[in-house]
Amino acid sequence: MVKCVVNPLNISRYLHAYDADAIKNGIKLSVGFDFHKYVSITLATPTKDPTYPNFRPDRSQIKTGEGFWIAGVDCNDEVVLLDAARLYDLPDSNFANHLQSLKAFYADPTIHAHPDDTCTCTAPSAKKITGRVAYLGDLWVRKDYRGQGIPRIAAGVAFGVSVALWDPDFLCGLVARWSIDKGVVAQYEMPHHEPGGANLRLVKEKIVDEDWLIWLTGDELRSRIDSHNRPS
């Protein structure tokens, strides 16, 4: 099946609209590709939880062109927004297997994982998420900017950049149940979610999670960008 190619100008206009929304909220956005720099920014952000190993070069190498991050700063150049994305190329596997093998988190689990690290994925749709998979995570919004729709802006930019760089078959993430209950995930505008995304324990990272899987297909993603540019 031939994919419907998104017009590059439509991607540009889509991204410009979200960038304009950020500016209205007093936020200047930037997109980066050096994850050593990203980790240094996160470490210097005192109220942010530690970044998961799948976005840390010391645990999971991200090759050039296979990941990006978003930062937003206020008028004082202080960080108010962080988000990250990477590409998992799974032509012969699926997202469930990638999680359970711990390869989603570590470049080489035999080297980096603790013997007691585990990840169980029971979300049925995770086995159908295959091919070029854009994974979004590590979203953080400073407390005084919460409740202003900032996750919608971050997701919009991440969607547009993901299509421009990778034209993925799927775009997905793992989120805590509270983010669904409180309407944060609704701001991402991902139409699908299931429990059992990841029952995760990473001993060295002191991470214990029970996350839901959220996702949309590549066709839904491209359609969203195209429809954003249609005259109302």
**Phi and psi dihedrals of 99, rounded to 5?**
-65, -50
For 82-124, the pLDDT digits (tens) are 999 999 999 999 999 999 999 999 999 999 999 999 999 999 9
For 148-173, what is each residue's pLDDT tens digit? 999 999 999 999 999 999 999 999 99
pLDDT of residue 5: 67
**How sure is the predictor about 1, in pLDDT bands with cuts at 50, 70 and 90?**
very low
- Give pLDDT, residue 231: 56
Of 127, 111, 100, 124, the closest CA to residue 201 belongs to: 100
Q: How far apart are CA 162 and CA 147, in angstroms?
A: 25
Report the pLDDT value the prediction gives residue 7, as an integer from 0 to 100: 85
Tokens of 59: 């645990």
The per-residue pLDDT for 171 is: 98
- Domains present along the chain, CATH in parentheses: 8-228 (3.40.630.30)
